[in-house]
Chains A and B, each alone.
Chain A
Amino acid sequence: MSAQALMTLKLRIWRQKDAQSAGRMEEHELSGISEHMSFLEMLDFLNEKLTREGKIPFNFESDCREGICGSCSLVINGIAHGPGKAKATCQLHMRSFKNGDTICIEPWRAAAFPVIKDLAVDRSAFDRIISAGGYVSVNVGSAPEGNSIPVPKNVADYAFSSATCIGCGACVAACKNASAMLFVSAKVSQFSVLPQGQAERKSRVQNMVAQMEREQFGACTNEAECSAVCPKEIPFENIVRLNREFIRSNFSPSEFE
């Protein structure tokens, strides 16, 4: 690649030693960046450089680097997962930036997601919400023959498009109230339309919503910022479905109609 094609960027990155310490933005100039690098490869490149210079690299999370594990979690220039639609941070490439740009990189910010170090946050609140009800209670060994539970194709497709949530938490990071409604609505929607989810339909939504409230997530005020940044484009209508499921369960909280 020709030297001209390489970019120089000014990076402003959040530095925070641990949950207890205060954090601050730190500035670094970085040159030699190819447009073909992914955003995280650019950060790897910076970290390698810092290491060679005897400095401390930045801590950030990533694993699959193909948009499915939900580990990566950066707010880039104020947008969760950065510019562009339907992608996680790891799927962002440097061709979205130009030479001389200043890029501001911060962690998810929400009371329910405390910072672990620098750009990494603790999202175990999501696991506790699933643990409260995001499942079908079926022990191994007791399942009936697969094709004895037919599911119309459009229902299966709808369930899939909700089930595709990667649990990254961008919805929370993008919401000014730090609400987890989109995350909860995705799981509730998946099971509320499937025959397998009917037996626990009411207790599930009750328990998941109760846990969500215990975890200090905020309330939804219909901003729809969550859907806008969702890497899997989980639609905002899922929240409408969640509200409906919740109301329905309040009318007769037992699983009997």
Chain B
Amino acid sequence: MLNLDSKCPTGDIETRWTRHKFNMKLVNPANRRKHSIIIVGTGLAGASAAASLAELGYHVKSFCYHGSPRRAHSIAAQGGINAAKNYKNDGDSIHRLFYDTVKGGDFRSRESNVHRLAEVSVNIIDQCVAQGVPFAREYGGLLDNRSFGGTQVSRTFYARGQTGQQLLLGAYSSMMRQVGLGQIDLFTRREMMDLVVIDGQARGIITRNVVTGEIERHSADAVLLATGGCSNVYYLSTNAINCNVSAAYRCFKRGAGFANPAFMQIHPTCIPVSGDYQSKLTLMSESLRNDGRVWVPKQPNDRRLATQIPEAERDYFLERRYPSFGNLVPRDVASRNAKMVCDEGRGVGPTKEAVCLDFADAIKRMGQEKIAEKYGNLFEMYQRITGENPYEVPMRIFPAPHYTMGGLWVDYNLMTTIPGLFAIGEANFSDHGANRLGASALMQGLADGYFVVPYTLANYIASTSIKPVSPQVGEFSDCASDVQKRIDKLFAVKGPKPTTDFHRRLGRMMWNDVGMSRTKDGTQKVIGSIGKLRQEFWSELRVPGDAHNANTSLEHAARVADFLEFAEIVALDANARDESCGGHFREEFQTPENEARRDDEKFSHVAVFEYQGENKPVIRNQEELKFEYVKPSQRSYK
């Protein structure tokens, strides 16, 4: 049984974080450099944590599998980052951002965490501006905002369609400054292969140098995991092709609880699949829904081109069904509705698995130039991929796997169930419940790294007895030899099929049965199919080359081996959660209007999976959720 004490402060929610900060222990500045911290991952979460902790004086060791920290997947975030600045004078406040996020997450997140996130959101913007992040500005020179789904205020800060890039380059530059100052040891092209736990504490990692193939040992006083999300369990997703679950999954196998694996976000606006060879899907930022109108033909099987369908024969289904939020409903709602109309045979394009996102009205209203200024790079990206000009014909879009709300379980201090192992950014489960609102992941990653973990980690170090440890001790050797065995085992299969074969098939299974809409039966059956695929993988896989130099085939195979186990846990969770909430839609549980029907009585909890050993069933634990400030209600965006 896992200990799932959330350690959330009690009392007035507005002062919880302030009081908690005061109550936590500090580490004396002179002592900080004696403590080394491993940070795996250099995305927004990892880079911001590395910079902050190094600035405070800790000795940081930073790891990523990329050739440069700046290439982490955060770089690809397009639309923006939320903050409760209320610069628009439209009624925003910390409380409203808190409220929107709890409601947007369909009442499956912790109030204390979300409130803290809303509080520090304002500091994030200040920090990024000071770093020289070139946010969009108004003519008067002040910061501009736009709106994103699931809210009725404009609180999203952005840098054209490249917000993630600019925020990451800000965090990266702060981090590289600390590398230059000798506060951070940077280890690029290292893949974390396992976590080393000694006397119940996380004390180090085993990495593979992906250039030389060497298996290396690194020790520290604490380990921070900032390894991002795992939507690539679906093979095709909007994530970068190297995103994976392995680091988190390895920690799970060493005793860290994994929370809400079934909470996957399917993003409504992506470029539809075009063929079998496809290696990834491209997101079209949600910000497009500010000005683009979503529609399909009223009649099924309409074969006309979009531009030939007259106004009266179009169904602007989001505007029709959700008059107050219109095209800006949250992602889960938008995705599900798109699927519904396509299932009715009203989809558009060659595959009929797409809906129109139409800018004709916006261009009429504001002119092409204004639209180009706002979305130019997205339009270009669309045209490059599809060969169609979205200024002239409506974009075709369809939902695609995008973000994992689930992740390693963490308490209020962002510590996992393994003492000394922290998880931040998309790798943890903390703040988004069953559905994340747009522009909130960047906010959460930077909140965790700049403003939360520097305090909570200090508290851990100051209040825990951490003995010195050498990477030569038995636990490190055992762990390194486990890693070596896993690698040898992959080469030893010597079958005929490349890894991609298995990854693609796993993706299809997951998309069909644990995707946008799920059933008890489907999730049950897919568990069997995943098991069979896993057996086939271990008897028919071929990993070419050897382990003694750069070998991307080996890296991919090791990741897919983990995906093949992890997928089963996703399906188990989807099967066990007999309700619909946020991104988890179980067909059996819907209202007469086809909206998600939660079951607060039975499922107002976080599901936390616990590993028990090879060939033993995993255990599903629960952390009950309490709502004191935002009363759970059926979400309505009507």
Contact = CB atoms under 8 A, between A and B. Distances in A.
Nearest to B130: A143
Interface residues of B, number: 81
Contact of B180 (A124, A131, A152): A131
Contacts of A123: 67-68
B242 A63 contact: yes
A143 B138 CA distance: 21
Interface string A40-81: 110011011011101111010111111111110000000000
A130 to B, nearest CB: 5
Interface in B208-267: 211, 240-242
Given A34-B275, A44-B279, A51-B544, A196 B132 contact: yes
B160 A160 contact: yes
B197 to A, nearest CB: 30
B109 to A, nearest CB: 25
Contact of A63 (B133, B165, B240): B240
B430 interface: no
A62 to B, nearest CB: 7
A98 interface: no
Given A140-B451, A196-B132, A91 B384 contact: yes
Contacts of A132: 180
Chain A interface helix/strand/loop/mixed: loop
A138 B174 contact: yes
B553 interface: yes
A159 B55 CA distance: 26
B464 interface: no
A163 interface: yes
A44 B500 contact: yes
A197 B129 CA distance: 11
A136 B130 contact: yes
Nearest to A40: B279
A247 B241 CA distance: 43
Contacts of B454: 140
Interface string B345-361: 00000000000000000
A222 B126 CA distance: 39
B549 A136 contact: no
Given A48-B498, A131-B180, A149-B130, A69 B240 contact: yes
B16 interface: no
Interface centre among A51, A70, A144 (most CB of B within 10 A): A51
Interface stretch (A114-122, A212-220, A235-243): A114-122
Interface string A80-111: 00000001000101010000000000000000
A120 B550 contact: yes
A18 B213 CA distance: 12
A210 B282 CA distance: 39
Interface string B155-181: 000011010011001001110110110
B532 interface: no
B484 interface: no
Interface in B440-479: 450-451, 454
Given A140-B127, A143-B126, A17 B549 contact: yes
Contacts of B85: 146-147
Given A34-B277, A122-B67, A66 B76 contact: yes
Interface of A: 1, 17-18, 34, 36-38, 40-41, 44-45, 47-48, 50-52, 54-57, 59, 61-71, 87, 91, 93, 95, 116-117, 120, 122-124, 126-127, 130-132, 134-140, 142-147, 149-153, 156-157, 159-160, 163-164, 166-167, 190-191, 194, 196-197
23 contacts: A17-B549, A40-B279, A41-B278, A52-B496, A54-B544, A56-B544, A57-B553, A63-B66, A66-B76, A69-B76, A91-B381, A116-B211, A126-B68, A127-B179, A135-B131, A135-B173, A137-B177, A147-B87, A150-B137, A156-B136, A159-B134, A164-B165, A190-B132
Given A51-B542, A144-B126, 20 more contacts: A18-B549, A44-B277, A61-B67, A63-B71, A68-B76, A116-B550, A126-B68, A130-B172, A136-B130, A138-B174, A140-B451, A143-B127, A152-B137, A153-B138, A159-B134, A160-B159, A160-B160, A167-B70, A194-B132, A196-B129
